[in-house]
Structure 1
């Protein structure tokens, strides 16, 4: 049986690539740490490290084992947190998984504010995880609700989900750009323009998917920058470094020097789903789920009823045709 302590030792040594530095982090001496790593390798029948006098390097098998060990330890931490809350009778505790769009759209902050106003004593633990990690967390009951960019499989025996929102992508241009005030924008107008692409750190092929979607629409972007989030992308656009696609919910705030255009021929959206286990163990989970679903409905109503202003202009988003 795997020893979680040995796994933590292994992960620390892998991160440091040096037994001495790892021992300092773990507040133990080097000899016991080396013995624990050797014992782990012996128990597994696996060589995890290539050893030299200067440093340790993971073997190919070691890299695979590290990824799984890290995931297991993360789950163990969440499980311990759940056990502590149950042990002290903290019925109101919640573990919420999310992706960055749940924050960017304001849906998760709105939901948490409503929760805090109604039940201020509830402890909430937030975990930024991929959709697959969140689904597994729900199945293992270490997460209570997941906010993810995709729905669970239709035949999943454990999970159920509901679409919270579809946040349309709009074209953001520097305000002085020749296309900013054009009466009509066509796909060919965007072909070869300098572009700021918004990364999707949870999708390894996000860049290929993005370029393919643009090509299908009739243009090829010249990607000059890869921004880690939409706000960064808006800042780069405002500086005149390129154009970008950003969610409609992101254009309400204050980046100056940006003009936002709708493109009816590029009907792509960022989707956000709420997913939960089919069996609710605690009333507070159902209550928070209802709060999240209400926040999603309110967000959709707000976007449909009010034209969002282009940052820095106070003007409605302009139509692309």
Structure 2
């Protein structure tokens, strides 16, 4: 395999048409340079130069090889610059996982806007994923930064930051008996049909939600599970059941949905950013932007 330094030696000699001038340009001795060029020709099985008394002229094969050598050196230089840029967090790609709550809370959009302004050379891949799947992908190196509802219980090797927090609102079908109750008492929700996030995707979050409901004086009857908050609101509008959604979604509720505050409900919607301690410079930079 040809070493890049051999190609650079050849290009210098070809451009200078003189070993002495090429040696001075490269900062090497003339005799070893001549030997390296002869070794290159022997390895290729080609005569690259016509040797005259004071001048070296390229053969036809030498001219073709010069074009290829220049292209290879230029490509190698480009690869090196890209690698250095990635090392500084200025290039490469960033894979971001997120839950929908991160979008509605604004944390994803704010961080992305600032990151794109500061590091425009970094490509972004967005992946909507459940919290548990994000953490697994992060540990496997398939994801650079995660935005999750529930931080991982095992945090060794990870950096975790709370980046969004807001209260829940109760979404009620407009024709429901509780829709006219402007001062809702949570105890009146006991036994009502609810739409909730799937327990299988995040059993810890479901357990915390059930505990918070009971602390407020009611036990929800979960009839349907759905993932996306916008889908949940559509089901509420269809009269399927009640649901709790983050406060920032109140203004996006469709017709047929009434939103009510939950004064004593202790649980809040939280989004955490998670990144590996060994993450790339770009990933670490993005993580810091989610915190401000």
Question: What range describes the TM-score normalised by the shorter chain of this pair?
Answer: 0.5 to 0.7
Give unpaired runs (5+ residues) of structure 2. Answer: 1-78
Relative contact order (C-alpha < 8 Å, sep 6+): which is higher? 2
> What are the within-5 Å matches in structure 2 for residues 174-213 of structure 1?
174-199=173-198, 202-204=201-203, 210-213=209-212
Q: CA RMSD in A?
A: 3.2
> What are the within-5 Å matches in structure 2 for residues 206-221 of structure 1?
210-221=209-220
CA distance in 1, matches of 2:289, 2:254: 30
* 2:105 corresponds to: 105
* 1:228 corresponds to: 227
CA-CA distance at 1:280 after TM superposition: 5.3
Larger Rg: 2
1:95 and 1:124 in contact (8 A); partners too: yes
Report the 3-state secondary structure (helix = DSSP H, G, I; strand = E; otherwise coil) of the residue aligned with 1:214.
helix
* 1:39 corresponds to: none
Aligned residues: 208
CA-CA distance at 1:203 after TM superposition: 1.6
> What are the within-5 Å matches in structure 2 for residues 64-213 of structure 1?
89=83, 91=86, 92=91, 93-139=93-139, 141-152=141-152, 156-199=155-198, 202-204=201-203, 210-213=209-212
The normalised TM-score by structure 1 is: 0.54
CA 1:228–1:142: 2 relative to 1, 3 Å: closer
2:195 and 2:224 in contact (8 A); partners too: yes
CA distance in 1, matches of 2:160, 2:206: 27
CA distance in 2, matches of 1:183, 1:292: 36
CA distance in 1, matches of 2:225, 2:143: 31
CA-CA distance at 1:87 after TM superposition: 10
CA distance in 2, matches of 1:177, 1:210: 23
CA-CA distance at 1:163 after TM superposition: 0.7
Give unpaired runs (5+ residues) of structure 1. Answer: 1-84, 295-321
CA 1:196–1:130: 2 relative to 1, 3 Å: closer
* 2:285 corresponds to: 287
CA 1:174–1:121: 2 relative to 1, 3 Å: same
2:105 and 2:164 in contact (8 A); partners too: no
CA distance in 2, matches of 1:86, 1:129: 34
Q: Deviations over 1:180-203 (max 9, x none)?
A: 332532233112223222335522
* 2:251 corresponds to: 252
* 2:241 corresponds to: 242
CA 1:125–1:225: 2 relative to 1, 3 Å: same
